[in-house]
Amino acid sequence: MAATLKPVNHRHQPLSAANHNHSRRRVTASFNELAINDGDKRSNKSTSLAKSISNLLNLYIEKPSLKNFLHRHDWDVVAQAEAKLELPTMSPKEDISSIWRDIHGGSDWENLLDPLHPFVRREIIKYGEFSQATYDAFDFDSFSEYCGSCLFNRRKLFEKLGLTKHGYDVSKYIYAMSHYEIPRWLEKSYVTDTWSKDSNWMGYVAVSDDLESKRIGRRDIVVAWRGTVLPSEWYEDMQRDLEPLGHGEAKVERGFLSIYKSKRMSTRYNKTSASEQVMEEVKRLTKLYKSKGEQVSLTITGHSLGGALALLNAYDASMTFPTLSISVISFGAPRVGNIAFRDELHHRGVKTLRVTIKQDLVPRMPGIVFNETLQKFDDLTGTLEWVYHHVGAELKLDARASPFLKRGSNFIGVHHPETYLHLVDGYVSSSSTFRSDAKRDVALVNKYCDMLVNELRIPPYWYQLSNKGLVSNEFGRWIRPKREPEDVPSPFEEENSAL
């Protein structure tokens, strides 16, 4: 029997009109908050000036925070962690077939983010794990001849990463390049004879199987984009000018667009762009399942740079499939374009949920100074088409809310996707403590960083190949093993991939 989606009210109060409006003010939904359809024609200039000055002052006043809820003395983190060692890392799946549109932003997640509805939490984590997979399966080893590729072929990807539990099958891999200066995430191997001198594995397309499709109420096509990790890369590499998309006044960051659109006939993997690769596969899958009379949705996810590419992908898809249900769920994503880009996505019906962490620097870039906050001063500045604007609703987390995370500034660790998933799993509301029945394994946070308190005794940076990928051969010599033939990147297989 299908579940009924109702706003979670931890105080057990009826959702009156007053409460409804109060909740709406608390949830950040930038399409509403920045007044896209604002028709207010202020006649009193002095009043307008006073409002602008007030807004300016508010930018520098710290809003009420979780300080009254962050006392650790109520927690014994070691006991909490040990109590979960023999418990499952996820709860039974609920049937959301009758309410999936609400979960995917049908009403811009109004009343579903603060407090966070458990069904929404589960779906956010699912797509977050799809995003995390683009890191876990990426060959970062600069001494590997396959550096920059995926470690596994698409049929083994979810099996190797323990993601078969979600009920999706990978149908195609995506490769990308850039015509501009290559930042660190595209650096190549130290070895001269490599699988590709131009391209990187950038993500994949997957689709829900029959059982999962029945549970979620439609055939869900997922596109997961890989991103960067180090916040320092953003300041140095992604401060470029806005560039027209070619449609109206919409403009986006030039570096993001280059990665999404670049191609070169002389390459093996980017004779077509990442944009063309992903859209070709989405078209194929949409046609296939709609011909069977099925309802189809497109959910695009990504972390960091991957979140930026997800928005460009959503813009592309909304133009090609104007009636398709399209959602973007991003983690730690930067700003991508100007106000016209934001407005076009909104008017085309793309639903976007940005998951951010207060202490994460990347969502503040590009446009640390010149961004959507200037819209509050439109009486003085007019509409600013040349500044960056975020898109969609925001679920804003606070790293201090988790008793398992170290205090202090760790700008690298706080940006990692596993930190995001940990905080989503424990988030209840902006005025509540970390939930004690959070399911995900806390140890995952330290996969690529050092964020967990020392009392837990979880080694930092523990996720790596055994012996750095070297194995002992029959003579006792340590060598780098050859990949299985099926795991060697093959442009021919990618061109002919199909479920």
Summarize pLDDT for 83-95 with one digit per residue, the tens.
Answer: 787 777 777 789 9
Beta bridge partners of 303: 331
What is the model's pLDDT at position 324? 97
How far CA 236 is from CA of 45, 189, 226, 312, in Å, comes to 41, 22, 19, 21
Judged against a pLDDT cut of 50, whether residue 33 lies above it is answered with no
pLDDT at residue 51 in the model: 46
Whether 104 sits among the annotated catalytic residues: the reply is no
Task: Compute the Cα dihedral for 395, 400, 402, 408 and give only its sign.
Answer: positive
pLDDT value for 409: 81
> What value, to the nearest 5°, has the Cα angle with vertex 298 and ends 295 and 304?
165
- 132/391 Cα distance (integer angstroms): 22
Q: Which of 360, 416, 425, 497 is catalytic?
A: 360
User: Which amino acid appears at position 14 of this protein?
Assistant: P
CA distance 221 to 287: 12
pLDDT in tens, 215-249: 999 999 999 999 875 444 444 445 567 889 877 88
CB burial of 223-255 (b: ≥16 within 10 Å; e: otherwise) equals bbbbbbbbbebbeebbeeebeebeeeebbbbeb
**In this predicted structure, what is the pLDDT of residue 10?**
46
In angstroms, rounded to a whole number, what is the distance separating the alpha carbons of residues 175 and 491? 10
Q: How confident is the model at residue 334 (pLDDT cuts 50, 70, 90)?
A: very high
pLDDT of residue 298: 98
Q: Which of 163-167, 175-179, 311-315 has the lowest mean pLDDT?
A: 175-179
Q: How far is residue 79 from each of residues 75, 82, 84, 386, 441, measured CA to CA in Å? A: 8, 5, 9, 52, 14
Average pLDDT over residues 139-165: 91
Which of 57-66, 167-176, 457-466 is modeled with the greatest confidence?
A: 167-176
Exactly one of 390, 415, 416, 422 is catalytic; which is it?
A: 415
78 vs 151, which has greater pLDDT? 151
What does the pLDDT read at residue 448? 92
Query: Is 430 an active-site residue?
Result: no
pLDDT at 490: 78
pLDDT of res. 232 = 46
Q: In this predicted structure, what is the pLDDT of residue 367? A: 56
Active site residue 415: yes
Give the pLDDT band of residue 207 (cuts 50, 70, 90). very high
Residue 296, strand partner residues: 219
| Average pLDDT of span 39-54 | 45
Average pLDDT, the chain: 81
Which residue segments constitute the domains of the chain, with CATH numbers given?
Answer: 93-397+465-495 (3.40.50.1820)
pLDDT per position as a tens digit, 254-287: 888 988 999 999 888 999 999 999 999 999 999 9
Percent of the chain exceeding pLDDT 70 equals: 74
For the segment 302-312, the average pLDDT, to the nearest whole number, is 95
pLDDT above 70 (res 97): yes
Predicted confidence (pLDDT) at residue 42 exceeds the cutoff of 80: no
**pLDDT at position 177 over 50:** yes
323 has pLDDT over 90 = yes
In angstroms, the Cα distances linking 65 to 101, 374, 422, 469 are 31, 23, 19, 45
Q: What is the pLDDT of residue 22?
A: 43
pLDDT at 188 over 60: no
Quick one: average pLDDT of 10-25? 40
Which pLDDT score, from 0 to 100, does residue 245 have?
Answer: 87
pLDDT of residue 386: 58
Whether residue 468 is predicted with pLDDT greater than 90 in this model: the reply is no
Per the listing, tokens 């085309």 go with 348
The residue from 304, 325, 327, 402 that is catalytic is: 304
